[in-house]
Chain A
Amino acid sequence: MNIKDELSKISTNLVIDEKRANYKIIIDEPSKLIDVANSIKNLGFDHVVSVTGVDYPDKIEVIWHVSSYSSEELKGIDLAISMTVKKPEPLKQTDAQGNINVNRPPVTVPSLVSVWPSGIFSEREAFEMFGIIFDGHPDLRYLMLPEDFYGTWPLRKDFTYQKPKVFIE
């Protein structure tokens, strides 16, 4: 089985970095994601290693790294499935005290938990860190951070740490 041929049959957007042995499939249509993931799974990639986002000024790239335990030929291959979504414009609100609150809405992508159940915790982590809502995830709750971090999305580049305000009477 030639992995390059098989992968290029699934998607025409295949980026191969020969020097670093990286395989990356870029998905341009969110509706295609689950179909492509299913065909990759049928090829023998059976588990998710990591789900993460990469934050850019106007977009977020969501990356699933998948690998194989069951197929001898695929054990040495890392495949990344990448999908880029546009970030909505942040909304600025001024509250009663005159502070400007920037509301950064989350983005939505389809969840791949139905294809690979091993991504269940990684997708929860990507949700709280980047504000990526995985549509179809059975249990999308906060994993590590406290719930009052909602909306701050700490691993986005425009996150600024705010010390808790101290009230002195």
Chain B
Amino acid sequence: MSEVRKPRDPLTGHVKALAKGFKYLVEPNRMTLDYPAETMKLPPNYRGFFTVDDKKCIGCSMCEMVCPPEAITMVPRIIGEGGKTIPAPEGEKEVKGPKRTKRPVVNWGKCIFCYFCVDVCPVDAFIPTQVHDLAFEKDSEYRPSYEDYLKPPEEPYKNSKKVISKADLKRGVSYEPAP
């Protein structure tokens, strides 16, 4: 270790540092993504906004119970007149136990995207997406209404060029058009 510690003689040290700096001045190591002209196509397990498949959800409240920031609340379903419980989808057996009377709604202002709710769902009713770059103007938009929440989140910059990130020996990260 003593060799590493030995101070370099100032001339060599400065010249080497300046030479390296000059090299990167001429040939910079850029890993910039030209957002929003280019947007990333993220890996399939990326944790973005999600919604719930209304047909699959049995209203068991497990997601509400596991949610660490308590962002999920169960709301009564308002499908059908008089708030009747909806029957199981056609061709599927009626699930015994919890009745299909409730469904989860997420407060996006609180959600931390840990996906504990997605993983704890016994019928795998959550539909994850890779959309992560949404911004809301008003406080009320953070808490989508029941109807809003049925729709999947809308991706911003739909017409941008889709790229995927790739490990690059020269630059570290480079971007190429998504397949």
Task: Say if the two chains contact directly (CB < 8 Å).
Answer: no
Instruction: Report B's interface with A, CB cutoff 8 A.
Output: none
A interface with B by C-beta (< 8 Å): none
